[in-house]
A and B are shown apart, each in its own frame.
Chain A
Amino acid sequence: MIRTIFDLSSDEFTPERMPSVSATENEIPDEYLNREIDLPSVGEADVVRHYTKLSTMNFGVDSGMYPLGSCTMKYNPKINERVASRDGFTQAHPLAGDDSVQGSLRVMYQLGEYLSTITGMCQFSLQPAAGAHGELTGVMMIKKYFENRGERRSVILIPDTAHGTNPASVAICGYEVKQVPSTLDGDVDIDALQDLCDESVAAMMLTCPNTLGLFDRNTVKISEILHAKGALYYCDGANLNALLGRTRIADLGFDLMHVNLHKTFATPHGGGGPGSGPVGVTEKLERFLPVPVIRRDGEKYFMEYNRSDSIGRVHSFYGNFLVMVKAYAYILSLGKQGMAEVSGHAVLNAHYLSALLRTSFNLPINRGCMHEFVLNDDNLPNGVTTNDIAKRILDYGYHSPTIYFPLLIHGAIMIEPTETENKRSLDEFIAAMKMIREEINTSPDIVKTAPHNTPVKRVDAVLAARKPVLREPSLGKK
């Protein structure tokens, strides 16, 4: 039975004992003070039971395989949680002054260096708090770059397979989005791009590998087309897991990019954050990075603010520092040897699943995938939809893959196992998917009315949108 904490609140409130402050009055005039606050009164044991019970209704990577395409739901190493919980890090005040926080500055500086080594970019800013935030920061730098050159460019090109944050980020900066179509094979349509690319284009954004899980065979050619017209090339690094240690993004012709620490670098997703989306640039964009930039002088680290061409700040302080600590520890754990291992097994696992699942479900683009691949709902009998399949997968103890993305593929099912799954867990997943296919053919109702084994049954999202109830009303008030 689902309850909220408010259902557990008692009517009587017993105040907790507070230390007294000798001979000191409250100096705030009455008119500014509230009289009481409307929060529930629940004892600690009940609070703990409530949230413990809630956690059992959740499914995390630790619960089972989580093949969400585009999200890189790999195992979150526990040592990273331990190191990020050290008092020196958790209690550091952001305005304490460089001398007091050399540890934090060192982590940030070195993480930036490692990300540069991994991607071939010249410098990173760790300020953006998420991938979309990184994209926006990147687009702002693109804008500043052209402003500095006195060039008026009003368009940014985005493939039709792009993640929604791409056009959304672009629109905030006042650019016009022009969509570039993809070929049936999943590459960007180079001819269409040639037509679209003129001096009004500031940049093109490409996810690499792309959102179909494919390495666009025109990746480098696109950079040539763009650069010939003086435009910039942005890499959405959400899928970087496929390329670690295999190639460097800058070597493919990209001018700037963002990475997602909560995807490629194993920091936990937290049920919707906190993430971290550092943005990296080649030398020509370096001076536009947000301030402050972390610099090093011998053994000392310091924050540099005096950067006249910077776009400014995009965060109240320096970004999601505690998330950075986890990514830093992860990179140290992988070391030079681990990078190519990660991408190797991520891609191997995806290929394996693709080879064995394509006999059960339609594979719309039959081309070597990278770390993820897309199936879809073509030829599904009995009116079963992609959504139904996603719900039935929950009954088998897995989280569903990403569905209905990218929009280019009808009824897409995007599967990304990551490198931390092994053959045994993949074989079990394949067996489950084959059983679901059998059910679709012979007993479709169980799929169409799924899920059945989850804490709640299929949730009515239509009602939630028609009659939104977004908070619990107070008792005894309007």
Chain B
Amino acid sequence: MSTIPKELRYSKDHEWINVVEGNIGLCGITFHAQQLLTDIVFVELPEMGLTVEAGERVAVVESVKAVSDVFSPVGGKILEVNNALEDEPALINTDPYEGGWIYKIGMDNPEDLEALMTASAYEKFITTGK
């Protein structure tokens, strides 16, 4: 498993989005993010049907020693949330890009994706901070 899958887009707050079909994107936090947080103990999932703007807080991820807000990389409406995280928050640690997905969003404006980083830009960002 690559720690920075090539087909995804990334935000400066370490969220990823995977456009699965049309305007629908699957979202979560990156391998790097879960590594910083260490063992995740609780996920406060987004509200179903909530409409959010790009950069708005949608979820909260808690580890033993830290709490991290999760911001939506794009604007849109929350279509689905990953209920499996209620019983198994550790999925974000073990499988951050697939089993550990947090929510599905119907994008308002696909142009929001342009503002996000590609895989190689994100890699540069986490190694150099730029």
Contacts and interface: CB of A to CB of B under 8 A. Distances in A.
Interface of A: 404, 461-462, 465-466
B104 to A, nearest CB: 24
Interface in B40-63: 41-42, 62
Interface string B64-101: 11000000000000000000000001100000000000
Interface string B30-42: 0000000001011
A186 B39 CA distance: 31
Contacts of B90: 466
Nearest to B39: A462
Given A465-B64, A466-B39, 12 more contacts: A404-B65, A461-B64, A462-B39, A462-B41, A462-B64, A465-B41, A465-B42, A465-B62, A466-B41, A466-B42, A466-B89, A466-B90
B45 to A, nearest CB: 15
Contacts of A461: 64
Contacts, number: 14
Interface residues of B, number: 8
Interface of B: 39, 41-42, 62, 64-65, 89-90
User: What 9 A-B pairs are tightest by C-beta distance, nearest first?
Assistant: A465-B41, A462-B39, A466-B41, A461-B64, A465-B64, A462-B64, A462-B41, A466-B89, A465-B42
Contacts of A462: 39, 41, 64
A382 to B, nearest CB: 19
Contacts of B65: 404
14 contacts: A404-B65, A461-B64, A462-B39, A462-B41, A462-B64, A465-B41, A465-B42, A465-B62, A465-B64, A466-B39, A466-B41, A466-B42, A466-B89, A466-B90
B44 to A, nearest CB: 13
Contacts of A465: 41-42, 62, 64
Contacts of A404: 65
A348 to B, nearest CB: 34
A461 B42 CA distance: 13
A391 B47 CA distance: 40
A461 to B, nearest CB: 5
A79 B30 CA distance: 57
Contacts of B39: 462, 466
A404 B89 CA distance: 24
A44 B15 CA distance: 57
Nearest to B38: A462
Contacts of B41: 462, 465-466
A389 to B, nearest CB: 16
A404 B64 CA distance: 13
Contacts of B42: 465-466
A462 B42 CA distance: 10
A411 to B, nearest CB: 12
B15 to A, nearest CB: 22
Contacts of B62: 465
Contacts of B64: 461-462, 465
A355 B42 CA distance: 42
A395 to B, nearest CB: 22
Nearest to A465: B41
A465 to B, nearest CB: 4
B116 to A, nearest CB: 27
Nearest to B62: A465
A413 to B, nearest CB: 15
B68 to A, nearest CB: 14
A461 B89 CA distance: 15
